[in-house]
Amino acid sequence: MTYARILATGSALPDRVVTNADLEKIVDTSDEWIRTRTGIRERRIAADGETTGDLSFRAAQQALADAGVKASEIDLLVLGTTTPDLIFPSTACLIQHRLGANGCTAFDVNAACSGFVYALGVANNFIRAGQSKKALVVGAETLTRMVDWSERETCVLFGDGAGAVVLEASGEPGILATCLHADGGYKDLLYNPVGVSVGFKDEKNHGVRITMKGREVFKFAVKTFDALVGETLAAAGMQESEVDWLIPHQANLRIIEATAKRLKMSMDRVIVTVDKHANTSSGSVPLALDAAVRSGRIQRGQNLLLEAFGGGFTWASALVRY
Ligand code: UT7
């Protein structure tokens, strides 16, 4: 049996920190509202000219260096993002060239906030099928580029960042199960109304911007994670008690706490970075994973449950023996 094992992780964040107090100066909000409703205290915002590709490149370089793998050894590069540098070529192609992995399979996956877990699921299946031996998987966003800074309902929620993992084909257990889902029937609850084919302005002459019915998304996310946990454990043949760490999508601390409760996990076994990073969409799970690996909390041999939820709707999970 061939598994995809995580050799190493990496991450990258923009330098600029924007606190809740900073946002109080531009919209009618308060640090207290943001903290109690979301758990967010601050977020990073990309500098002018700093792109999703730049953050991806730095995260990938760190993961490759820590794995002791040369870029030229990578035969697959899958990048989850909904904020690519260009419409085409894909950001995966752009960073493939910068890294020096030219020639390998490289493509982006757009599954909104589930982008990284989707990309991980795709790479896992390439490895299990024998089509890849060493893969680089990235989740990266500059989501603040499509935030309307006059809308307090959304502008306080998002941040920029990237995370990456290097996977290797191995006889030892690595990724034990992945579950990937989508239901396009929920498009109107969370979407960006403009794009190439419909045009870059909507009927109200708005440009690119995140549109979300927050309360409804919240309810659906809690219900979905509840079912996803059960499905993933069953797919891996595991009990709740065997999961060492929950690494959830970092959108809202209250959603994370509800999932931990479902798993009967105390919050000290849950990786939380939403306070520092806010919602970085595809960047959120790999950023949290890398933070926990670097701080020494996650140890080799432990079981990790990764899960994400986003526009589409999409939802996805991975149970990983680290
Ligand atoms: O990553 C993709 C998935 N996304 C998510 O998982 C996000 C899911 N949703 C959420 O996290 C929450 O629904 C939000 C954080 C977006 C909103 O929290 P909420 O507790 O659902 O608040 P709400 O939307 O019901 O709004 C409550 C009140 C409203 O005022 P009224 O109508 O009660 O007078 C809003 O106008 O809070 C008001 N409000 C704000 N007040 C201060 C909304 N945004 C803000 C703000 N500052 N930034």
Per-residue model confidence as pLDDT tens digits over 185-244: 999 999 999 999 999 887 777 778 899 999 999 999 999 999 999 999 999 999 999 999
* Average pLDDT estimate for 59-78: 98
- Does the beta carbon of 29 lie inside 6 Å of ligand 1? yes
196 plus 88 within the same structural domain: no
- pLDDT score recorded for residue 273: 98
Query: In the chain, what percentage of residues exceed pLDDT 90?
Result: 96
85 plus 128 within the same structural domain: yes
- Does the beta carbon of 221 lie inside 6 Å of ligand 1? yes
pTM above 0.85, yes or no: yes
Displacement of CA 264 from its chain's centroid (Å)? 24
182 plus 285 within the same structural domain: yes
Range of the domain at 128: 3-171
77 plus 153 within the same structural domain: yes
Displacement of CA 205 from its chain's centroid (Å)? 30
- Does the beta carbon of 215 lie inside 6 Å of ligand 1? yes
Residue ending a domain, choose from 171, 206, 231: 171
Q: Mention every residue, 6+ apart, whose C-beta is less than 8 A from residue 137.
A: 77, 78, 79, 80, 116, 119, 120, 123, 164, 165, 166, 167, 286
The tens digit of pLDDT for each residue in 245-304 reads: 999 999 999 999 999 998 899 999 999 999 999 999 999 999 999 999 999 999 999 999
Contact 1, 174 (CB under 8 A): no
- The residue whose CA is least distant from atom 43 of ligand 1 is 153
Q: How far is the CA of 252 from the centre of ligand 1 (A)?
A: 10
Q: Mention every residue, 6+ apart, whose C-beta is less than 8 A from residue 193.
A: 202, 206, 209, 211
125 plus 226 within the same structural domain: no
207 plus 308 within the same structural domain: yes
CATH number at residue 192: 3.40.47.10
309 plus 287 within the same structural domain: yes
Residue that wins the pLDDT comparison between 114 and 264 = 114
Q: Across the chain, what does the average pLDDT equal?
A: 97
The tens digit of pLDDT for each residue in 25-34 reads: 999 999 999 9
**Alpha-carbon span 176 to 92, nearest angstrom:** 25
Which tokens in the block code for residue 227? 């079912």
Q: How far is the CA of 29 from the centre of ligand 1 (A)?
A: 11
- pLDDT score recorded for residue 207: 79
List the single range of 2-11, 35-44, 181-190, 192-201 with lowest mean pLDDT. Answer: 192-201
pLDDT > 90? residue 117: yes
115 plus 223 within the same structural domain: no
Which tokens in the block code for residue 281? 């969409």
180 plus 303 within the same structural domain: yes
21 plus 108 within the same structural domain: yes
- pLDDT score recorded for residue 66: 98
Which tokens in the block code for residue 143? 């989501």
**Alpha-carbon span 27 to 19, nearest angstrom:** 13
Which tokens in the block code for residue 121? 């699921």
- Does the beta carbon of 152 lie inside 6 Å of ligand 1? yes
Enumerate the active-site residues.
Answer: 113, 249, 279
- pLDDT score recorded for residue 116: 98
146 plus 242 within the same structural domain: no
Residue 131 has a CB neighbour count (10 Å cut-off) of: 14
Residue that wins the pLDDT comparison between 204 and 305 = 305
Contact 53, 91 (CB under 8 A): yes
